[in-house]
Amino acid sequence: ANYKYEYIFIMDYNTGKELARVKADGIYRPDVNQAYNTSGNVGYHVSFNMRNFPNKKIYVMMRATNDPEGNTKGGAQDFHDKRWYLNIPKR
């Protein structure tokens, strides 16, 4: 499907609840394009302040959506991969 926007979410690993989100403008990734036989700006670069999530186990979720706010209005597809997570210590 063709979606207009991509968002990256920080998710609580244990509850599945959203902790934060940021719009991800695509960046050119020729390695990804070659590996998956795609074209365009299929990569992304975002950052989050991990101090906002003390004592949490988190993972990243990517959402392709037609909603400019990053919600599911107009159609969306979420990509969860909980194999890669991070335990953030309390500071």
Do the beta carbons of residue 4 and residue 69 sit within 8 Å? Answer: no
- Say what the alpha-carbon torsion angle 29, 30, 36, 42 is, to the nearest 10 degrees: 30
Question: Which residue segment(s) compose the domain that 34 sits in?
Answer: 5-88
Count of structural domains within the chain: 1
pLDDT over threshold 70, residue 1: no
Give tens-digit pLDDT for 27-69: 888 998 898 888 888 788 999 999 999 999 999 999 999 999 9
